[in-house]
Amino acid sequence: MHMKKGFIFDLDGVIVDTAKYHFLAWQNLANSLGISFSVEQNEQLKGVSRIRSLEKILAWGNKSISEEEFARLMHEKNEEYLQYISRMDTTEILPDVPRILDHLSTEKQGIALGSASKNARVILEKVQLIDKFHTIVDGTDVTKAKPDPEVFLIGSKQLNIAPEDCIVFEDSVAGVQAANAAHMISIGIGDASVLHEADYIFKDFTEINKEFINNLVSARKV
């Protein structure tokens, strides 16, 4: 019998590398407040909501601002980020992502996006991958940020596939923890020392072959 699983992909750092654009926008915002902002600090904002990210930056700089200023800065940061992603194209897709998506499609597996980004649909359209997904769950659909499993549980429900039969691809610690909390198989994409809580870890999709994917189809989270 042909088994069907749900494969849920994070967006930033998994399908495309928009982290660099977040970094530039957050760095410019921090600098405008006289706060230094490093690549290492940016790592701590991966998979984190815009509100929480700004709260963290303000805490690092020991700054407090009014609610109005907070709202204005969040809006400005997003506008700058949107300018960056408006220029995105298919060259921004990370290596071998289309190969994996095409294989899953050929094998008639469920394919979902599970991202904190409220710009997920725009980005997928820009890189011409939006038609590869059966369902998209983004920041407009959730109320709880990763490591809460809400985003992945909604994806599983929309695919009509049980959480135990879902596999998540994530590049952040919070995302891996969310997948584990949802009782899904977690696959870390990136640095093994950072993503050690994942069930499997790969540097990128070039390291993932068809046999591994096919084995996942017959496996289940225990």
Q: 12, 138, 165, 171: which one is catalytic?
A: 12
Instruction: Respond yes or no: is residue 17 known to be catalytic.
Output: no
CA 2 to chain centre: 29
Residue with tokens 């709260």: 55
Tell me, yes or no, if 10 is annotated catalytic: yes
For residue 199, give the 3-state DSSP assignment.
Answer: coil
Cis ω for the linkage preceding 147 (within 30 of 0): yes
Look at the block and give the residue holding tokens 């049980």.
162
What single-letter amino acid sits at 56?
K
Q: What's the CA gap between 139 and 49, in Å, rounded?
A: 8
Nearest-5° Cα angle at 183, 178 to 186: 60
Specify the amino acid at residue 87: R
Token pair for 11: 């967006």
List Cα–Cα distances, 11 to 1, 14, 34, 93, 97, in angstroms: 31, 5, 31, 10, 11
Structure tokens at 161: 């596939």
Element holding 216 (H helix, E strand): helix 210-218
Return the active site residues. Answer: 10, 12
